[in-house]
Amino acid sequence: MNSVVRQALFYGVGLLVMKGVSFIMLPIVTRYLPVAEYGRLDILVTLMNVGSIVAGFGIVEAVYRYHGYAKSEQERRVIVSSGFTVSVLLSTLLLLILLPFLPVLLAVMPGNLEAKSIVLALVNIAVGGITSVPLAWLRMRDLAQWFFVFTTVKAVIQGVMTFVLLDLGWGVDGVLWSGLISNLLLMAVLVGFQWRQSGMTVDIAVAKKMMVYGLPLVLGGVCLFVSGGLERWVLAGYTDTATLATYGVASMFALVVAFLVEPFTLWWFPKRFEYLGRNEGRELNAYYSSIGVSLSMMAAMIISLVSPFIIRFILPESYHGAAEIVPVLAIAMAIKQSAHLMNVGCYISGSTTLPTKINMILAAFSLVVYPLAILLQGAEGVMVGVVMVNIVRFALFYVYSQKALYLDYPLAFIARQFICLVAIVLVGTQSALLTLLIIIFAFCDSAVFIKRKTASLPDRVNSQVVG
């Protein structure tokens, strides 16, 4: 079995267990938590998602960037060790800074949250920031088997604890406590593992470069929340947490699009800068990124068709409204994934100013679109807003990435895949035969592209692709 497939299988099985536990827990959580409580949980999860971006401070991206261009093993070790130490310090510092501002967070966050719930979320954010570099290190070293072991055990522990604490009546805090305890256990193991692998020292010059590289990503992280999470706060503020809960469940199913592609992206994202250093680096980047886009589109097709049936079958009736939302959010997620896959040119310089500027534009656009959409069309308008924001995201990242580093993407192939996705969502289950024909065409089109493109690559590139 070639190395790419072997690594992808480990990532895939590990992610299957992690996300599988989450989806096994979904009908359990929705039965223990009324829709209003689930909406509050969704707000806290949104806070943790954006907090993890800020806590990360762009250090993982900086490690990827400088590790990929390093000339020796010693230089790579210094980069990882410095990145690890800086991430620990920054995550701890963020927690210490935010705790005194707890009353402010209580005032600005919707959903009538309790202080202890926000504290649990903040501690989860800090712990996640500390584990980010060790997890990235496993991927950079092609240690997918250890990535699988660590993350799988963590997911199982979290799932079991969530069930127990919910059954004991802990509610939303029970879900947060289970996440925190499992994250602490993972952190203890990964910190020890990373210490043995690279040590925990700081090269001031390297740390400074990483800070400069990552600093714009802090602002970018806030902008990412506005463009990728503000709609939840708008829904909670203009409607109620029950409506947000329905949207949250639909979003969770739409996230499966990213999950299905993640075995590929977990392998590819740490490698794309390394591949750029090769003679055929641009061709390989265009090739692999296009495969990722195709996988995203096909994953969205499957989710848009299957999820409504699953929602109606496994969830309480009060959550069934999510079935109508999933197909639209699946399209938005596929577009978002495509933007991530085709943005490498935005990150090749020693600065992250460009992606930060793009995220600022997206944030400003979102601040206008989401409130206006919900005022004009209610909750349904937010779904349209999500698609619009992600179309603009893709356009901005694609155009500026191509200006910085032109890659010869097969745009006709990508367009065909997207048209198939839109057709699937529009047709749905109204015509089973037509839906089947569209899916068969999309899969065959992708298979033909991969076969033809691989055959056209030079022999030495082929050996890299399959070796």
Cα-to-chain-centroid distance, residue 135: 14
Examine the domain organization and report whether 257 and 214 are in the same domain. Answer: yes
Examine the domain organization and report whether 92 and 211 are in the same domain. Answer: no
Can you give the residue range of the structural domain that contains 423? 205-467
DSSP string for residues in 98-144: HGGGHHHHHHHSSS---HHHHHHHHHHHHHHHHHHHHHHHHHHTT-H
Q: 55: which 2 tokens?
A: 């806590």
Q: 352: which 2 tokens?
A: 């992250």
Examine the domain organization and report whether 176 and 209 are in the same domain. Answer: no
pLDDT in tens, 315-336: 888 888 888 899 999 999 999 9
Amino acid found at 370 = Y
Examine the domain organization and report whether 252 and 148 are in the same domain. Answer: no
Examine the domain organization and report whether 141 and 209 are in the same domain. Answer: no
Examine the domain organization and report whether 184 and 319 are in the same domain. Answer: no
Examine the domain organization and report whether 349 and 446 are in the same domain. Answer: yes
The burial class, CB within 10 Å (0-12 / 13-18 / 19+), for 73 is: exposed
Q: 218: which 2 tokens?
A: 């802090």
Examine the domain organization and report whether 168 and 103 are in the same domain. Answer: yes
Examine the domain organization and report whether 3 and 149 are in the same domain. Answer: yes
The residue out of 202, 221, 255 marking a domain boundary is: 202
Amino acid found at 183 = N
pLDDT recorded at residue 222: 75
Cα–Cα distance measured from residue 396 to residue 216, given in angstroms and rounded to the nearest whole number: 17
Cα–Cα distance measured from residue 371 to residue 381, given in angstroms and rounded to the nearest whole number: 9
pLDDT recorded at residue 1: 47
Examine the domain organization and report whether 16 and 54 are in the same domain. Answer: yes
Cα–Cα distance measured from residue 25 to residue 2, given in angstroms and rounded to the nearest whole number: 34
Cα–Cα distance measured from residue 271 to residue 144, given in angstroms and rounded to the nearest whole number: 14
The residue out of 153, 169, 202 marking a domain boundary is: 202
pLDDT recorded at residue 270: 75
The residue out of 152, 182, 202 marking a domain boundary is: 202
Examine the domain organization and report whether 179 and 108 are in the same domain. Answer: yes
Total number of domains constituting the chain: 2
* pLDDT tens digit at each of 467 positions of the chain: 456 666 667 766 776 777 777 778 888 888 898 888 888 888 888 888 878 877 777 888 788 777 766 667 777 778 888 888 888 888 888 889 888 888 888 887 877 788 899 999 999 999 988 888 888 877 777 777 788 888 888 888 999 999 999 999 899 999 999 999 999 999 988 888 787 776 677 778 878 888 887 777 677 777 877 887 788 878 877 777 778 888 888 988 998 898 888 878 877 887 787 788 777 888 888 999 999 999 999 999 999 999 988 998 888 888 888 888 999 999 999 999 999 999 988 888 766 678 888 888 998 999 999 888 888 887 788 888 999 999 999 999 999 999 988 999 999 999 999 999 999 988 876 777 888 899 899 999 999 888 876 655 554 444 444 43
Q: 34: which 2 tokens?
A: 């009324």
